Structure 1
Amino acid sequence: MACFVDTDRRSLPRSLFHIRILLRQSKYLSSSNIKSYFRNMTDLIKEILSLVVPSQLQLSPDGKQVVYTGRTKWDHKPKNDEHKRAIWIAETDNEKSALKLTDGTFNDRDSQWSPDGKTVAFLSDRGIRGKSCALYLLSASGNGEPKALTPTESEQKISKYCFSPDGSHIFFIATPENSTERRQRDEDGADIMVWGEDWNFAHLYLVGVESGIVDTLFDQDLNVVDFALNDDGTQLALVTGKTPDIESEFLHGQVVRTCRITAQGLTLTDHILRLPRSLSDLVWSGSNLYFITYNIPENSSTGQGLYATDLANSMDENIKYSRIFPDEEEESCPKSLQKAGTNVVVHVEHDMEDQLRLLDGSILLRQKKRIIDFAATSAKDKDGEVMVVAASGDINTPTEVFAVDTATASVSSQLSSHSAAFNHSFASKVHFLSCPTLDGKETISAIYFTPVGAAPNQALPTYVSIHGGPYYRQTNAFDSLDPFVFFTPLLLSAGIGVLLPDYRGSSGRGQRYASYSMYPGYGKYDQPDIIAVTQHAIEKGLADPNHLAVGGCSQGGYLSYLTAVRNGTHGFGWKYKCAVPCAGITEWVGMSLASDIGHLQAEGAGALWRMDKGDLSIRSGSALWEFKEAAAEKGRIPPLLMLHGQEDARVPVSQAWGFRRALEDAGLPFQLVTYPREGHFIQETRHLEDFIERVVEFVKGHLL
């Protein structure tokens, strides 16, 4: 579905439209570079989307090899096709040695080494493409066919697994496939849903590596979400939620129980750890449990912290836990944990820098580039030395796998070569910026990418790309969870500078900075920060104040809508020429009612059901509640390109429909594009190609 009102641009033939753009570009690009921008943008998009992105890295026990999953960028796939991923393997002392261990015709993923380093386990849909999920074993040499350990045609969903320390068994969490009775009801049209009934709980299982016999270890009416084995595999920490519903953590929290592993199964101990919200990255090392949860455990708007509890000193039934990183004022946050022998490695965001640290603070890797994934181990024949590999890239270099020199805390040899045929450079310079907030309370960090061939000392047309979250942050990277990173290389190729601000509420800056997103912070702190960073880029001579655009996805889409209705009201004398909100929020009351995580949305924007009848504070920060005043001022609201997945459960498409109605009623220019079958993220290849090209064309049309 597309609606468009903009006769000036759409009346031009497509070829003439491109010529006009190129003529305007000549102001910002040296003449020697203009020819390169006649390249077919569709071809460049396809080339970028064809790149393999390494993820789910796992080091062999001796650290000599690494296996990982090769996936498509943003996991895109053609309509009516299934995901196709391959398991890759590389030698850590042999540059560009990565080879396929599986051929990539199935959805092979999440590989793990056996403790003896001879075989690799992985998940795959080899039984029924796109539906089944089973555990397989394959020789690390690649010889022979994969051996199935669990039923190959089962439609169970395996969410986590790991080997026992002796390699004889594999523990795994699985949600059972629908029963025959449930399937019959679905076929007969008797698939009535009653809230709170017919929960399909995830259980904990054990499969013998040699026998293939599957035993059920925990099948109570609780949802198993995580587990961790102790060092010798005699005990297990089990994490459960009350229900499988996505909002269970907000209503009921999660519980960690310690269990003894015996020949008869699991025996629950008296130790129970209760959390008011969810945890992640559970690790059992020595007598300590480590995990990540919120800095204020009952408030998800406060950022994440690393917590620990010493089971040896926990005498009470209810285990006590405490935060060990970061302290209240430290501007860092943990992203993930991995066990490496007796050590625990923490992936840390420290402002614009990504780090891998040990618990004692030792830094194994530090760089102002995003670490997409990492793996760590501690080889016995190297006196417990921690060995690390990482997947990383930058704006000019697609993500590859690297060995890490922990002595210098930097990457050393490149182990993969997925981008060998990709010879493009987009950014001539990366500027790391910082500036005060408009209220003077904080300092904001940002990145500005200058395109290759940009004339020296020339302020550039600039696209301000706002990340989602809000608990997320951008740094130098080629791959990111934020979809708007797709547009960066293409906009740079067109001679447009790209500015990425990390506004208040972002990650990487500790509890205080993250907590600005607590109710009623939306629209009060974050949106003015976008203005502050844009003004700073103008004052630095990077951004042309007469040629500015703004856009973002999810929370970035929300801030794009809000910036559109507040356009030019900041008093600095400039306006954005266009706005590109994707999957954005336009009105917060509807989010707490209709989003699949309405309780989380209510935590940041206010819960309607907890408010007095006359309390209108929930309207604060909603673009639609500011629309009437904005529309009354001629020229304030710029042309908008709104994009949304029709099946988006996180931010329902009705959020875009509401804003479309307002724009139509006011007679303002816009284009609304919705993508059938798509959720919060666009994943069908043709849709993604359209998504990227449409945004780039729209921004170029308004800035060049």
Structure 2
Amino acid sequence: MAASLRWLGSGMILVLAPVLIAAPRAMTVDDLLALHRVSDVQLSPDGREAAFVVTDVVKAENRTNSDIWVVPVGGGSEPRALTNSPRDDQHPRWSPDGRWIAFESNRDGARQIWILPVAGGEPRKLTALATEAGQPVWSADGRALAFVSAVFPEYSTLPPAEADRANRERLLALARRPVKARVFTRLPYRQGDTWDDGRRRHLFVMPMQQGGATAEPRDMTPGDHNAVADVGAGAGEDLFPAGDGFTFSPDGEELIYATAAESLRGETAGGDGDLVAVNLRTGERRLVAKTSANGGAPRFSPDGKWLAYRAPARRDARSTRGQLMVHNRSTGETRSLTPDFDRPVSEWAWAPDSAGLYFTAPDDGRRPVWAVRLDGESPQRVVANGTNSALNITPDGHALVWLAQTLTQPPRVMRMARETGATTVLADPNRALLDELALAPAESVTVTGAGGAKVQMWVVKPPRFAAGQKYPAVLWVHGGPREAFGDAWSWRWNPALWAAQGYVIALPNPSGSAGFGRALADAASADGNARLYADLMACTDWLARQPYVDATRLAAAGTAYGGFMINWFQGHTTRFRALISEAGVYNFSSMAGISDEAWRLEDGPGAPWEVEEGARFSPHRFAANFHTPELILHGEQDFRVPVGEALQLFTALQRRGVPSKLVLFPDEGHGLRKPLNRELWHREVFAWLAEYLAAPRAAPR
């Protein structure tokens, strides 16, 4: 990325010559692509600096580029770039002595582990595996580095050099073979947007000294199984960030990791799992705890006496609640720190004194930071507003360093003094561009939904909103269905950008959304999608009653589960002028046989060959009622909701004579990644809305 970013951070004074300040303007798609994406904040061991990743769109090459930056936690000076490669440098991890940063990079083509001297100097490549390497994690003494590589399991017990050579030859043979047939004998055979090619994600450990490897990396989890979940498979927001699924024991003798359990149903990222410890000398494994494949995420306390991890409150796919567990390594006692906390714990960090932890959890459309002590006190809010992540605590316990964002503010690096609560912006590379844009703040409203339940909803109005004017409105439906619309910036479905087209955007969180309690989630699960539909119609009623909304010009849009609900709308209401469905289910019967996570459907009424009840919630059964113009968008490599769902839906609409348009992306999966595809996506969406939500023309005189 360019090293000429204009940063505005803590304690900085910006002196400018007098200039004419232009009035704020409406946001454009080009603005969304131009904004810098800040992620993965990592505090140095001494607490003086924070490393983070900045990702930029390289539009000319239809890709993104990531680099690693660092900023002083005390403020007073600008962030500086540690890397400036033409490809991706990401996942920075400080060595325990603070002298080195290990990271993953594809700067020379293949993704490998690199290391950088913090004091200055060029990065050096640590690995050169045929199967690539990523997600580095240091041992507490800095004498070892663990990472992930996807290898062919039949070679995993060979000596390291021999195994790597066999993997390399196998990959070359696969690339050169004239017959491209795929053969499978078990589930799962594909995940996210990738077919299973026989490789398994294993954990490797490499001895380190003075910033260099002293021996070849060793596969610590050999065998025909995945040691870690596929964090790139689109398993949902509750899957932990890359690298958080494993850690070294304080004495460096074991590697603890969360692994998916084998299942005949083909469960992957959301299924059952175990917390396992492997002895680095003997290779022996032992079970630490039962958890889930997207739980686990073990963290040892600074004093080494406790192990914290996440476990589901209930063992089913519909559970929206993960508890924060602690295991006493001396007594063997394991207990929950959040037994009565009715929200799903997301991520956490130990307090330096080992007396408690900080964690985030969705709550009523926000994701606050909470603090909880080992002595049993109830969790207390530390940061109340916005969406917060990437928690770091300074070694003295006096400050919190993290990422904060809202619906109208992209993520930025923040610091908060624990004693006073005073916050400081450490790094915000988007301030200059955001100051040019007219972004109306999001409003939170409460709507009475099914059974009198309170439904929280965000409303974003157009820039330069005029109270006496009536605007067309678009109701969004989120995915999951156990996700939620939070007070968070989005790089894909961005309500500020949609509002800039002249629409009021409504983002409801119906029953079952994450962060609103288990009772509502269970109620939503009990009757298919009936309760969610009732909640969403109540939100539409509320929207239509507002004096600034033109109730005759309403549209609805959604992706994934939201796309399914849009398809359900199609057969059950005519109150919308237009519908937009992305990656939405149309036919549950076909979906149940080809989705990479079809097993999730079985946690309701059961498998499709066992019961017929689930079919009554399938949109395809109501095709005779289809009347509303609908735009369908879908990635052809989507294995979560395969493209056949879009093809069936488009065929039904066309045969019914309903105005409809199908936009397929051959090189995308369950969610678009490539910048130019996203640009086209917005162009198609906004054109569809403009066509059907245009103001009625005055009759000629």
Could you tell me the TM-score, scaled by structure 1's length? 0.81
Compared with structure 1, are the counterparts of its residues 429 and 437 closer, same or farther at alpha carbon in structure 2 (3 Å cutoff)? Answer: same
* TM superposition shift of 1:272: 4.2
Aligned-partner SS, 1:398 = strand
Contact residue 583 and residue 643 of structure 1 kept, 8 A: yes
Distance 1:393 1:95 in 2: 22
The one-letter amino acid paired with 2:558 is G
Contact residue 103 and residue 114 of structure 2 kept, 8 A: yes
The runs of 5 or more residues in structure 2 that have no matched partner are: 1-22, 153-166, 187-195, 229-244, 695-701
Please give the per-residue CA displacement for 1:46-72, whole angstroms capped at 9, x wherever unaligned: 221121111111011122211111124
Distance 2:30 2:461 in 1: 23
Query: 1:90 and 2:90 equivalent?
Result: no
* TM superposition shift of 1:410: 6.2
Of the three residues 159, 177, 181, the one matched with 1:188 is 177
Aligned-partner SS, 2:649 = helix
Distance 1:657 1:113 in 2: 48
- Aligned position for 1:690: 680
Aligned-partner SS, 1:274 = strand
Contact residue 349 and residue 508 of structure 1 kept, 8 A: yes
Compared with structure 1, are the counterparts of its residues 681 and 604 closer, same or farther at alpha carbon in structure 2 (3 Å cutoff)? Answer: farther
Of the three residues 475, 483, 493, the one matched with 1:484 is 493
Distance 1:421 1:80 in 2: 23
* TM superposition shift of 1:691: 0.4
* TM superposition shift of 1:111: 0.3
* TM superposition shift of 1:168: 1.9
Distance 1:600 1:67 in 2: 38
Of the three residues 430, 436, 450, the one matched with 2:442 is 430
Of the three residues 666, 669, 672, the one matched with 1:679 is 669
Of the three residues 498, 510, 515, the one matched with 1:508 is 515
Distance 2:527 2:89 in 1: 42
Distance 1:291 1:620 in 2: 39
Of the three residues 233, 256, 261, the one matched with 2:252 is 233
- Aligned position for 1:543: 549
Aligned-partner SS, 2:252 = coil
- Aligned position for 1:448: 459
Distance 1:36 1:257 in 2: 54
- Aligned position for 2:190: none
Please give the per-residue CA displacement for 1:619-670, whole angstroms capped at 9, x wherever unaligned: 2222111221x14xxxxx3211111111211111111111111111111111
- Aligned position for 2:158: none
Higher alpha-carbon deviation: 194-203 or 509-518: 194-203
Distance 1:362 1:326 in 2: 11
Compared with structure 1, are the counterparts of its residues 207 and 364 closer, same or farther at alpha carbon in structure 2 (3 Å cutoff)? Answer: farther
The one-letter amino acid paired with 1:228 is T
Compared with structure 1, are the counterparts of its residues 115 and 386 closer, same or farther at alpha carbon in structure 2 (3 Å cutoff)? Answer: farther
Query: 1:273 and 2:289 equivalent?
Result: yes
Q: Would you say how many aligned residue pairs link Structure 1 and Structure 2? A: 620
Distance 1:77 1:516 in 2: 45
Query: 1:68 and 2:77 equivalent?
Result: no
- Aligned position for 1:366: 383
The one-letter amino acid paired with 1:432 is S
* TM superposition shift of 1:407: 3.5
- Aligned position for 2:308: 290
Compared with structure 1, are the counterparts of its residues 280 and 503 closer, same or farther at alpha carbon in structure 2 (3 Å cutoff)? Answer: farther
Query: 1:218 and 2:237 equivalent?
Result: no
* TM superposition shift of 1:256: 2.1
Please give the per-residue CA displacement for 1:180-209, whole angstroms capped at 9, x wherever unaligned: 135325522355423249842322222122
1:272-421 matches, within 5 Å, as: 272-275=288-291, 278-285=294-301, 286-296=304-314, 298-312=315-329, 323-325=336-338, 327=340, 330-341=341-352, 342=354, 343-360=356-373, 361=378, 363=380, 365-371=382-388, 373-379=389-395, 382=396, 385=397, 387-409=399-421, 411-421=423-433
Contact residue 63 and residue 674 of structure 2 kept, 8 A: no
Distance 2:650 2:422 in 1: 49
Distance 1:476 1:627 in 2: 36
* TM superposition shift of 1:124: 0.6
The one-letter amino acid paired with 1:618 is G
Of the three residues 513, 530, 544, the one matched with 1:524 is 530
Compared with structure 1, are the counterparts of its residues 348 and 421 closer, same or farther at alpha carbon in structure 2 (3 Å cutoff)? Answer: same
- Aligned position for 1:583: 583
- Aligned position for 2:234: none
Identity of aligned residues (%): 20
Distance 1:429 1:602 in 2: 41
The one-letter amino acid paired with 1:135 is I
Please give the per-residue CA displacement for 1:25-51, whole angstroms capped at 9, x wherever unaligned: xxxxxxxxxx988x8x8xx21221121
Distance 1:310 1:192 in 2: 44
Distance 2:265 2:68 in 1: 30
Query: 1:133 and 2:144 equivalent?
Result: no
Compared with structure 1, are the counterparts of its residues 484 and 246 closer, same or farther at alpha carbon in structure 2 (3 Å cutoff)? Answer: farther
Compared with structure 1, are the counterparts of its residues 646 and 235 closer, same or farther at alpha carbon in structure 2 (3 Å cutoff)? Answer: closer
The one-letter amino acid paired with 1:305 is G
Compared with structure 1, are the counterparts of its residues 428 and 200 closer, same or farther at alpha carbon in structure 2 (3 Å cutoff)? Answer: closer
Larger RCO, structures 1/2 (Cα 8 Å, 6+ apart): 1
* TM superposition shift of 1:429: 4.2
Distance 1:171 1:463 in 2: 47
Contact residue 465 and residue 551 of structure 1 kept, 8 A: yes
Distance 1:404 1:546 in 2: 47
Distance 2:80 2:613 in 1: 57
Distance 1:685 1:701 in 2: 24
* TM superposition shift of 1:585: 1.0
* TM superposition shift of 1:108: 0.6
- Aligned position for 1:17: none
Distance 2:485 2:336 in 1: 25
Contact residue 200 and residue 224 of structure 2 kept, 8 A: yes
Please give the per-residue CA displacement for 1:542-567, whole angstroms capped at 9, x wherever unaligned: 53321211001111111111112211
Compared with structure 1, are the counterparts of its residues 168 and 647 closer, same or farther at alpha carbon in structure 2 (3 Å cutoff)? Answer: same
Aligned-partner SS, 2:88 = coil
Could you tell me the TM-score, scaled by structure 2's length? 0.81
